[in-house]
Amino acid sequence: MLDIKEIKVLNSKNCTCGHEFSLADVKGIERLQDAHGFYGNLVKNYSIAICPKCKKQTILLLKQTGQTWKIMNTAQVPVTQKTRTENKEENIKPQEFICPVCKKICKNKIGLNAHMKTHND
């Protein structure tokens, strides 16, 4: 999900190179993280599109109208979003609990405690 506090709205339906985005550029529709959305709660969804001219990623802010979508505005993809997800993947490692007797790896502390009882018998 995309946090609307991190994006910079461009106030245009065009890419910085001049390409005008259309519904053909919409590939996958996702929901904005903030429940309030944009434009008085009209824009609650977005799609990340790649400009066919300059190959730059752009966020298309979408409003649902009936059974179709309308592009209300565009925004820049935040650079910090990519680095945050990369750092999270590197820092988060599953915690392992290793039995000191037989070196069995348990997923959690409760599992290790239950396993340790088998060595006491």
The residue extents of the domains of the chain are: 8-77, 85-120
As a whole number of angstroms, the distance between CA 58 and CA 17 comes to 11
Question: When comparing pLDDT for 96 and 18, which is higher?
Answer: 18
- Cα dihedral value 41, 43, 45, 50, nearest 10: -160
In tens, the pLDDT along 19-30 reads 888 888 888 888
Question: What φ, ψ does residue 119 adopt, rounded to 5°?
Answer: -80, -20
- Tokens 């409003």 correspond to 63
As a whole number of angstroms, the distance between CA 28 and CA 36 comes to 21
Say what the pTM is: 0.58
In tens, the pLDDT along 64-100 reads 888 888 888 888 876 654 444 444 444 444 567 888 8
As a whole number of angstroms, the distance between CA 52 and CA 60 comes to 14
